Structure 1
Amino acid sequence: MEHGRDETHEERLDRKWADLLQELRVMQTGTQLLAGFLLTLPFQEVFRDDLERYQHGVYLALVVIALVTTLLVTTPIAIHRRISGQHVKERLVDNAQRTLRAVLTCIGLMVALLSFFVFDVVVGPVAGAVTAVVLAAVAALLLVVVPARLADE
C-alpha cells in the first residue's frame, strides 16, 4: 500500500503519534477551559437560585461530560508514560486514535447539551431543544460525515 511518503513503518508511527499529540493539545485547551467555566457556575448565587430542577440535571450532565472529556484527552499520554520504551508504538497509536474518536463524540455531546442549557435558561426549553438538535446535526456533519467523505476520496 502506497502512503505517499518515503518512511519506514517506525517513522510512520512516530509521525502519526506526533500528529495525534498535536490534535490532543488543541482539544485539551478548549475542553479544560469549558470544564473550568462550568465548575465555577455553582458558586454564583444567581445560578443556584434561578434554575429549575431539570436544569440542574442538565448542568451536572455537562460537568460530567466535560470532565470525562478532559480525562479522555489525557489518556493517551498516561498510556504513553506507562508503555514508553516497550516497542509497542503501534498499539499506542491505535489506542490514541480510538480515544480521539471518543473525545470528538464527547465534544459533540458537550456542544449540543451546552447549547440546550444556555438557550433553555435564556429563552426557554423549546429554543433549547431546537438549538441542541441543530448543533448536534452540525457536529455530526463536521466531526463524522465530512472526515468520512474526505477519507473516501
Structure 2
Amino acid sequence: MLIKHVKDIDVEDEYIIVEKEESLYEVARKMEAAERGDVEHDEIMVHPILAAYVMEEGSPIGFIDRDLIIEETILKGKNAKQIKAKDVMKKPLCCNVNDTTRDVVNLIIDNGILSVAVCDGDQLVSVISVYDAVFLNETLNEF
C-alpha cells in the first residue's frame, strides 16, 4: 500500500520530551532508559531513542540527538551535568501532517538527520525517524 501523506504513517515513538533546564546528562539518561512494551507479544523491547524534543506549549522549540550530546561533551571535554538542554539544543526541522512522504524522506536524507518533527500547525503530532524513512523510501520505490 502506498502511503502518500505523513498523516497516514504509523510511526513508533523513537523520541522523548525533555525540559529545557535539564542537563545533557539527564537527557542522555532518559534516552538510554526509555523502554516501550510490546503488548501483543507480552514483552518489553528496548528501541533506540534518536532524539529528545524540548517543548513549549505543545510546540517543539528545540531538539537534542545523540550526536549533539557527544559533540558538546566528549569532543569538547565538557561535563554533561553542567550543560543545560536550552544552551545547546538545535532548532528542530518540522514537516506538516499534510506533506507527502516523499518530501519527508527527502528532508531526512538531504539534511542527514535522524528525525523530523511532524506538526499540525505548531503542535507536535509525532516524529518520523530515519528508520521510518528507510521503510518509506523502499515503499515509494516499489511504485
Normalising by structure 1, what TM-score? 0.31
Normalising by structure 2, what TM-score? 0.33
Richer in strand (by share): 2
* Rg (Cα) greater in structure: 1
Q: Which has the higher contact order (CA 8 A, sep 6+)?
A: 2
